[in-house]
Amino acid sequence: MSALSAREGRAEGHPTNLAVGPAHTSRLKDAANNGSTRQNVSGALIWVVAFCECMMAEFPDTTWAIPFALKERVYSSGSGLQVTVREGTERWPLDARMDLYDYATTFDWGRDSAGATQLSLALLADALDNDARARFLHQKFKSRVIVDLPERWTLTRSRILAHAKLFERTEFGL
């Protein structure tokens, strides 16, 4: 039996441990095997959704919230070569990170330019939260991702992290 924890919405805010037992497992499998409503969703997501549905049904008095780790950061093009960062309901402009390197004063994408290099560096620095890794990977990220972006685009933080991991694997053979 594996133990998972969730926060219960009580005034005192103490965490409550919720255990997943055989009854939950069979309900999860039944929900995952019911492909009629979830045909286009990956198996892992089906399990997560099914688990949440089972737990929410099992503990109806609990206040459920999306954990911080599941909130996705989204980067998207805007008007006039602006890039917007969204996380939940918050929005802000992407920091150009000229403190790391000053390639250009504006962002650019869809071609090989100084602005594309600046965008690559800024996206990686924000997504990775590691300036050294961003400086190391930004040229490859620019040549493989940024130069191919259309006029209007959206990238998720998880997609940027996947590219970074792929580049590091190919570079170091990890």
Range of the domain at 47: 2-58
116-165: pLDDT as tens digits: 999 999 999 999 999 999 999 999 999 999 999 999 999 999 999 999 99
Q: What is the pLDDT of residue 136?
A: 94
- Reply yes or no on whether the pLDDT at 20 is more than 90: no
**Within a domain: residue 97?**
yes
Q: What is the pLDDT of residue 135?
A: 95
**Within a domain: residue 65?**
no
Dihedral of CA atoms 35, 37, 43, 49 in degrees, nearest 10, equals -130
pLDDT interval class at 59 (50, 70, 90):
low
In terms of C-beta density within 10 A (0-12 exposed, 13-18 middle, 19 or more buried), how is residue 143 classed?
middle
The CA angle 54-158-51, to the nearest 5 degrees, is 5
Segment of 30-44, 50-64, 75-89, 149-163 carrying the highest mean pLDDT: 149-163
Q: What is the pLDDT of residue 14?
A: 39
**Number of compact structural domains in the chain:** 2
Within the chain, residue ranges assigned H as helices are 22-33, 43-58, 114-128, 131-144, 157-172
User: What distances in angstroms separate CA 57 from CA 25, 51, 102, 157, 174, one per listed residue?
Assistant: 14, 10, 53, 31, 42
What Rg do the C-alpha atoms of the chain give, in angstroms? 21
pLDDT interval class at 51 (50, 70, 90):
low
**Nearest-angstrom CA–CA distance, 168 and 124:** 13
Q: Are residues 82 and 123 in the same domain?
A: yes
Question: What is the sign of the dihedral through the CA atoms of 28, 34, 38 and 39?
Answer: positive
User: What distances in angstroms separate CA 122 from CA 91, 97, 130, 139, 153, one per listed residue?
Assistant: 16, 5, 11, 12, 16
Q: What is the pLDDT of residue 71?
A: 73
Q: Are residues 76 and 54 in the same domain?
A: no
Averaged pLDDT for residues 42-62: 59
In the three-class reduction of DSSP (H, G, I as helix; E, B as strand; rest coil), residue 117 is classed as helix
Q: Are residues 51 and 84 in the same domain?
A: no
Q: Are residues 52 and 96 in the same domain?
A: no
Return the residue matching tokens 């969703």.
41
Q: Write down the mean pLDDT value for the chain.
A: 75
Q: What is the pLDDT of residue 147?
A: 96
Averaged pLDDT for residues 57-70: 57
**Within a domain: residue 64?**
no
Cβ neighbours for 8, distance < 8 A, ≥ 6 positions apart: 14, 15, 16, 59, 62, 63
Q: pTM score > 0.85 for this model?
A: no
- Reply yes or no on whether the pLDDT at 21 is more than 60: no
